[in-house]
Structure 1
């Protein structure tokens, strides 16, 4: 038997992963608590804010990062739960119970990830100021605060608001900025979409990621990563938890429960480390060149002899350089690169293990299983079950 049913309106732009994951969290709350709501959400997954609000409903959960939605609801006398970005001062929050993505924790997590890779030069790629991206300005200021606190210097580039008409111009200007950065700079992109711009600009001008610049985004937007030339490290926000808590607050309101007076801040879930921050502090030019070659061709079945031939120095010389720079043999680095790709495909694709084995240069899936278990203590299937990202 269902509990009492309430009519609830969800105002979101579910064309992006941030909103979709919040909606998923709302659904998780309802299912885990056996609660039935009569839910309205636009067929286009985005409420048309130019239409006046005249719904007969009991409650609303809305994304207040969209100022049009915030304006729409100012005069609505219905229980509302807001979700959206965190802000540095209480006056910036709407006057409703609010669940926020903790922007300080998000930027700090990205910064700490780069620091752990040995990066000590930093940059931030943002978005030009506009009322629809207030969260970008917040993240810029947090980036500056963290750098000052840690004693580092960094630069911020906002770039252009892109469209089909100015896309090439924006990439040209972004490329010039990227070329001005010192080698081994770590870049935090304000979101994964902006990180994708960087990957494309670097590809155009021949900047190697992560060997010359490191890059981390925010959101874990699967579509963006599928389109990326280099797999993108990213901060996975606690968006499902945001949706879960927002739904919980609205249900408490229906039961006349108490609300927290301050916004409920939700920390990011985790860093998803991929190729774009797989930085190695290597100075030897022969080793750097060999690593580039291995990364490009490891999964095509190259052997140590082919790497030696490409570098045009003796095997003993290059092996000594690899040991000094990486503490590893050329052979082990080739296999490491193949397994890095295998781990990425296991957790971020739906390819069969047979297909992954072949793509990574192991025609025999049995041999692939043997080597994988020897290295990681579990089979590829066990690895996928354990680490697949939701």
Structure 2
């Protein structure tokens, strides 16, 4: 049993919490501590400043660390206090860390979830946007292996692009490389990005290269990071990792070690929690280039209250011509398509109970709250507030 401090245990959480992955694991640890009588004084990676090289001399009681970071693994190899590793799953059993209890996100299932969604959307081809091979990106290599395994199963031609690392020299140069890759791909195609950050690269490149999303390129990321979703013109579909569950599981394992109990399992693999399907992957086969370009523009700017004339100007045809193409493709008008997209956006925004209706209307591209109310009544048979109550109640 580890000697308890006077006011409980002192535990270090070694995660570089720049993205949602580390933050959500830490949140899961906090969930566990709050649900028990455990008293933990928790320190974060930032509390150790720039290096954890001297952590073997630290007088704390236990550590939960990101084992996807090779620097942490090296630094913790000589530590005598209980350590729980958290990281990605591996195809080979020999690649798992030895002598440490370990909680992993299921990399193979994460990619399978994204791939299956794109198959269900009717995409005929699939590509993978990963990361360069380095010691720090072994989890990316595992996700790439999962993609290759799925392609081999379905006898599909793999299309892989690793691009530059996350600390590439120039944003424009990174995007230029992605654009060149995308232009050379057969279309339509579904792209699985190894993270939401890489999914944003794909979306930005498509916008700059005038490649329609999702009609020509459908995109699915991994992480379901709400902040990154807010930064994109077209909401990105993403697979949710079970990060909070990983944090809770790791905390429970460490707690047992701290009180001297044995572990029922020394390795736990946590599956994904589903896929948040957004507009970036809702592929519908469309072969009319005018309609494809128009919908690409609508997906980006419908929330800004654009008019049909602006859509026609972007496509480069008259409003009458564009309306003819829409009626031929769908049986309805450009305005109907914009209105449907605004309605979908409002429905999603209403899930946030903190947003006033006026703000929901504004963000959705409706000219007023009253107009949004009229559209909801006509199309859904209820007011926005009634829709919100009914949806949240379920």
TM-score by length of 2: 0.86
Which of residues 172, 175, 182 is equivalent to 1:168?
A: 172
Q: Is contact 1:12–1:46 with CA below 8 Å preserved after alignment? A: no
Q: Is contact 2:31–2:248 with CA below 8 Å preserved after alignment? A: yes
SS at 1:312's partner residue?
helix
**By how many angstroms is 1:275 displaced?**
2.0
Q: Is contact 1:11–1:46 with CA below 8 Å preserved after alignment? A: no
Q: Is 1:266 matched with 2:270?
A: yes
Q: Is contact 1:235–1:272 with CA below 8 Å preserved after alignment? A: yes
Which of residues 48, 53, 57 is equivalent to 2:56?
A: 53
Paired positions, count: 382
**By how many angstroms is 1:65 displaced?**
0.7
Q: Is contact 1:319–1:329 with CA below 8 Å preserved after alignment? A: yes
Supply the distance in 2 between the matched residues of 1:293 and 1:255 (Cα, whole angstroms).
59
Higher mean C-alpha deviation, range 163-172 or range 270-279: 163-172
SS at 1:108's partner residue?
helix
Supply the distance in 2 between the matched residues of 1:227 and 1:286 (Cα, whole angstroms).
27
SS at 2:32's partner residue?
helix
**By how many angstroms is 1:306 displaced?**
8.2
Which of residues 190, 194, 197 is equivalent to 1:190?
A: 194
Supply the distance in 1 between the matched residues of 2:362 and 2:284 (Cα, whole angstroms).
27
| Structure 2 partner of 1:91 | 94
Supply the distance in 2 between the matched residues of 1:220 and 1:153 (Cα, whole angstroms).
27
Q: What are structure 1's unaligned runs of at least 5 residues? A: none
Q: 1:367 to 1:170 in 2, by over 3 A?
A: closer
Q: Is 1:201 matched with 2:209?
A: no
Counterparts of residues 88-167 of structure 1 (less than 5 Å): 88-94=91-97, 95-163=99-167, 165-167=169-171
**By how many angstroms is 1:47 displaced?**
6.2
| Structure 2 partner of 1:319 | 327
Supply the distance in 2 between the matched residues of 1:57 and 1:305 (Cα, whole angstroms).
62
**By how many angstroms is 1:348 displaced?**
7.3
**By how many angstroms is 1:249 displaced?**
1.0
Q: Is 1:302 matched with 2:310?
A: no
**By how many angstroms is 1:226 displaced?**
2.6
**By how many angstroms is 1:29 displaced?**
0.8
Counterparts of residues 284-299 of structure 1 (less than 5 Å): 284-292=288-296, 294-295=298-299, 298-299=302-303
Supply the distance in 2 between the matched residues of 1:335 and 1:185 (Cα, whole angstroms).
27
Supply the distance in 1 between the matched residues of 2:312 and 2:221 (Cα, whole angstroms).
32
Q: Is contact 1:216–1:232 with CA below 8 Å preserved after alignment? A: yes
| Structure 2 partner of 1:82 | 85
Q: Is contact 2:233–2:301 with CA below 8 Å preserved after alignment? A: no
**Backbone CA RMSD of aligned residues:** 3.1
**By how many angstroms is 1:160 displaced?**
1.4
